Each structure stands twice: as structure tokens, then as C-alpha cells.
């Protein structure tokens, strides 16, 4: 068995802030539904370089994380750095990479979070789908060798191959050719948020802390099967660079608002699929279901779980069953999108959280096919920390009836 460089105890967790960190990066948990859909939406959008965006975001993010991890573990040789990078990939739930043939310009992937996502969510297509792995491998090679590599996937398990194969080519460039984005320093304040709505039946703190304590790390296949989905620990920087580059490219064509709407829809759809899996899981049955007496209690349980996903500290302020939901967040991860990647003059910068909240109400209160639920609830972010507010404020309500949508 390969040496393990990472254990769950290495992750620093602060439940009250909804925060996890490892090797200098704040980690957020999403599942194969969200990750594969986000990638597919960008790569299928002819208005942007979706593949380039996804690959660049991975290379940027993981070059830094791998360098920090190598420094923390005092690794000096390129071979040790590559072994550590492979274990980081496994630990965070992305799959298994084999760098043993890098000297002959090849890297292999023998399991993949993204391939699992595409296989579960979409019919087979004749294209490779491991764009994320291309960026990660480039980051690992650059961090280990001190020179940038171009990485191209030549065979993919999604296309029926036994493994994913990547060709790597050394360039003459600096290992990270991109300029660093300037991180945003924001003064969020938990104390300014309103008091959380009382629900004597649902112990939200117990749920949050229990999920935070689950040893969620990649198994021998580098996957994290839990709550009926495949989870992955992703640095928030990755998602923020992906969404930021996408919105800026859309904004350059006068379609910035459309870009935000697309990101919100991706999150809404994945909220339906992800949290339906969670509610059908053994973990939910053991931990949350005994607290559920009324339908609206499910919303409290779901928000409690969200507080353990690294998305920030999420407070449920008010909920009218089947009608409205108000949540506030002091440090939602999207607010840390670099300022130069945000859409100019935008009033809101958290499309993921907005879409998720709409999806929660559609999941819990509607009993129609998933594809017919989309758009029946809508979230408005009235205040955003990225614009100087002490917290983000989200209000979700019915947008239309199913009959109105069907007639439209």
C-alpha cells in the first residue's frame, strides 16, 4: 500500500465558522452531481473557454496547496512531492493518480470522482472528461519539478478505457504562468446576524458537529462514498476561480447576469439531486430522521448538514412551511471570489448558495418529477458581504406554480 501523507486528523475544523482547512486551503464539500454538472455546463457553453477555465482553476489552486503541503511536510525530492500530491488527490476524494511513469511523459488515473459523476449523471459521450485531473497533474508536476507542464488526457474511463491516460510535456515556462489573484479581506460579523429560528425538535448543533466529526477522506479508490453520493473536499479557491473566470468571460459579451443565472441553476439542480440522496441515506436515517416530526423539520436538518460542508456559517432565520425561507451567512465561501473576477456593479455574488436554497424547498415541498421542480422557488440575496455588508442575507419564496410553469 502506498504511503499515506494525510490523515483526517490533519484537517483543521472550526464548526462554529463552518470552516475546514488543509495545507493552507479552505475546503468545501460538494458531491459528484455538482462537480460534474458545473464542469459540463461550462464546457458545453460555446460562449466561453469552459475547458480552459476548469483546467486553469485546478492548476492555480493545487499548485499552491501542493507547495504548501510539501513545505509543511519538509519534502525536498521531486519524487516525494509527487507521491504526496497523489495522496492529497486520494485524500480529498478525487480518485487515484499514478505518477510512476512521469519520466516517460505519462500519468495514469485508475479511479476518478469526475468519471463517477459523468457516469452517474449523463449518457455516454465520445469525449474525455478529466479536465480537472489535467489541471491537477500540471500543478503537481510544476510544484515538484519547478517548471510548467502541459497535460492532455488521451484516454478516459468515461469513454470505456481501463484507465485514464495523460500525456505530459515539459515547457519552458514558470510552473505557474498565471498571475495570482489578490485575495479579498472581508470583515464578516456573526454577531450582526439575526437570532436563529427555534426548533425544539431538531438539534442543529448536534447534527452539524456529528457530520463535522465524520472521518470523510478518500478510500483506497480515492473516493468518499457517503450520504448516498460521492463527496470531495475542494479548496474554495477552485470554485471561486471557476465561477469568476466564467462570469468575466460572459460579462465581456454583455451576458454577465446570464452567467450568474447559469451558476445558480446548476446549484439548484444539484441541491435537488444531492440532498435527495442525503435524505435517503443511512446517515440521515440514523442522525436526523429521529428528529423529524413535521415536513418543515427537514429544512432545519438540511441546513444543519450544510453547516458541516465548509460553505460557511449558515443561520436559519425564518421559515414558513412551503412558502418562504430566510437564511443569513457570515462567511459564505463565494464572497471570497477575488475582486477582479467579480462582475462589475453586481448586487449579489453568491449564486451557488442562492440556487441551493431554492432547491431545498423544491425538494422538501414538491411531489413532482425533479425536472418539473426547477424554477418553482427563487432566492434573492438582498445583502452580500462581498459588497461590504456584515453578512449575506438570502430570501427564498415561491416563484410560480407548477401549473403556471407547465403552461409557459
Secondary structure of the chain as H, E, C letters: CCCCCCCHHHCEEEHHHCEEEECCEEEEEEEHHHHHHHHHHHHCCCCCCHHHHHHHHHHHHHHHHHHHHHHHCCCCCHHHHHHHHHHHHHHCCCEEEECCCHHHCEEEEEEEHHHHHHHHHCCCCCCCCCHHHHHHHHHHHHHHHCCCEEEEEEECHHHCCCCEEEEEEECCCCCCCCCCCCCCCCCCCHHHCCCCCCCCCCCHHHHHHHHHHCCCCCCCCCCEEECCEEEEEEEHHHHHHHHHHHHHHHHCCCCHHHHHHHHHHHHHHHHHHHHHHHHCCHHHHHHCHHHCCCCCHHHHHHHHHHCCCCCCCEEEEEEECCCEEEEEECCCHHHHCCHHHCCCCCCCCCHHHHHHHHHHHHHHHCCCCHHHHCCCEEEEEEECHHHCCCCEEEEEEECCCHHHHHHC
Residue 222 has pLDDT above 80, yes or no: yes
pLDDT band at 407 (very low <50, low <70, confident <90, very high): low
Domains and CATH numbers, the chain: 24-170 (3.30.1380.20), 190-228+236-407 (3.30.1380.20)
Name 392's bridge partners. 329
Q: Which residue has the higher pLDDT, 237 or 193?
A: 237
Instruction: Choose among 48, 89, 328, 74: nearest CA to 221.
Output: 89
Return d(Cα 175, Cα 160) in angstroms, integer.
32
**β-strand 224-226 against 229-235: which pairing, if any?**
antiparallel
Distance CA(52)–CA(300), nearest Å, equals 39
Q: How far apart are CA 14 and CA 358, in angstroms?
A: 27
Confidence of residue 405 (pLDDT cuts 50, 70, 90): low
Any bridge partners for residue 396, and if so which?
325, 379
Distance CA 388, CA 371 (A): 36
Distances from the Cα of 131 to the Cα of 43, 151, 289, 363, 389, angstroms: 10, 9, 38, 31, 36
208, 83 in Cβ contact below 8 A? no
pLDDT band of 400, cuts 50, 70, 90:
confident
Mean pLDDT, rounded, for 53-71:
96
Of the pLDDT bands very low, low, confident and very high (cuts 50, 70, 90), residue 345 is confident
pLDDT recorded at residue 406: 58
Grid coordinates in use for 228? 448516498
Predicted pLDDT at 187: 64
- Give the per-residue pLDDT at 126: 84
Question: Cα separation of 404 and 169, whole Å?
Answer: 55
* Per-residue pLDDT reduced to its tens digit, 242-262: 999 999 999 999 999 999 999
Residue 347 has what pLDDT?
A: 82
Give CA separation, 12 vs 19, 51, 183, 209, in Å.
8, 32, 21, 13
Confidence of residue 74 (pLDDT cuts 50, 70, 90): very high
Closest among 129, 197, 188 to 158, alpha carbons compared: 129
Average pLDDT over residues 114-127: 90
Q: In angstroms, rounded to a whole number, what is the distance separating the alpha carbons of residues 331 and 326?
A: 16
The pLDDT, as a whole number, for residue 185 is 64
Asked whether the beta carbons of 359 and 272 are under 8 A apart, the reply is: yes
Amino acid at each position: 500500500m502506498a504511503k499515506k501523507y494525510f490523515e483526517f486528523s490533519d484537517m483543521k475544523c472550526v464548526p462554529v465558522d463552518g470552516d475546514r482547512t488543509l495545507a493552507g486551503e479552505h475546503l468545501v464539500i460538494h458531491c459528484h452531481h455538482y462537480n460534474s454538472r458545473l464542469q459540463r455546463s461550462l464546457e458545453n457553453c460555446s460562449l466561453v473557454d469552459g475547458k480552459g477555465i476548469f483546467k486553469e482553476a485546478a492548476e492555480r489552486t493545487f499548485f499552491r496547496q501542493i507547495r504548501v503541503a510539501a513545505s509543511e511536510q519538509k519534502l525536498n525530492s521531486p519524487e516525494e512531492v509527487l507521491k504526496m500530491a497523489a495522496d492529497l488527490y486520494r485524500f480529498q476524494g478525487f480518485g487515484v493518480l499514478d505518477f510512476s511513469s512521469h519520466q516517460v511523459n505519462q500519468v495514469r488515473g485508475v479511479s476518478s470522482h469526475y468519471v463517477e459523476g459523468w457516469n452517474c449523471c449523463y449518457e455516454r459521450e465520445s469525449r474525455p472528461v478529466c479536465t480537472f485531473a489535467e489541471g491537477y497533474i500540471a500543478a503537481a508536476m510544476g510544484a515538484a519539478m519547478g517548471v510548467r507542464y502541459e497535460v492532455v488526457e488521451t484516454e478516459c474511463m468515461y469513454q470505456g478505457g481501463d484507465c485514464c491516460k495523460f500525456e505530459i510535456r515539459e515547457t519552458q515556462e514558470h510552473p505557474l504562468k498565471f498571475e495570482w489573484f489578490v485575495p479579498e479581506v472581508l470583515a464578516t460579523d456573526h454577531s450582526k446576524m439575526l437570532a436563529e429560528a427555534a426548533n425544539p425538535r431538531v438539534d442543529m448543533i448536534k447534527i452539524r458537529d456529528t457530520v463535522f466529526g465524520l472521518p470523510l477522506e478518500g478510500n483506497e479508490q480515492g473516493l468518499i462514498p457517503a450520504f448516498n453520493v460521492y463527496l470531495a473536499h475542494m479548496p474554495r479557491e477552485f470554485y471561486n476561480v471557476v465561477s469568476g473566470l466564467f462570469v468575466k468571460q460572459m460579462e465581456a459579451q454583455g451576458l454577465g447576469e446570464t452567467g450568474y443565472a447559469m451558476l445558480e441553476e446548476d446549484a439548484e439542480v444539484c441541491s435537488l439531486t444531492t440532498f435527495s440522496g442525503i435524505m435517503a441515506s443511512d446517515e440521515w436515517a440514523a442522525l436526523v430522521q429521529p428528529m423529524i416530526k413535521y415536513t418543515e423539520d427537514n429544512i432545519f436538518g438540511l441546513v444543519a448538514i450544510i453547516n458541516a460542508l465548509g460553505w460557511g456559517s449558515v443561520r436559519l432565520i425564518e421559515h414558513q412551511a412551503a412558502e418562504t425561507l430566510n437564511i443569513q451567512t457570515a462567511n459564505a465561501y463565494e464572497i471570497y471570489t477575488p475582486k477582479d473576477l467579480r462582475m462589475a456593479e453586481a448586487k449579489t455574488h453568491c449564486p451557488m448558495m442562492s440556487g441551493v436554497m431554492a432547491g431545498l424547498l423544491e425538494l422538501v415541498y414538491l411531489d413532482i418529477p425533479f425536472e418539473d421542480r426547477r424554477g418553482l422557488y427563487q432566492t434573492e440575496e438582498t445583502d452580500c458581504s462581498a459588497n461590504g455588508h456584515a453578512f449575506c442575507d438570502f430570501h427564498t419564496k415561491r416563484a410560480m406554480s407548477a401549473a403556471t410553469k407547465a403552461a409557459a
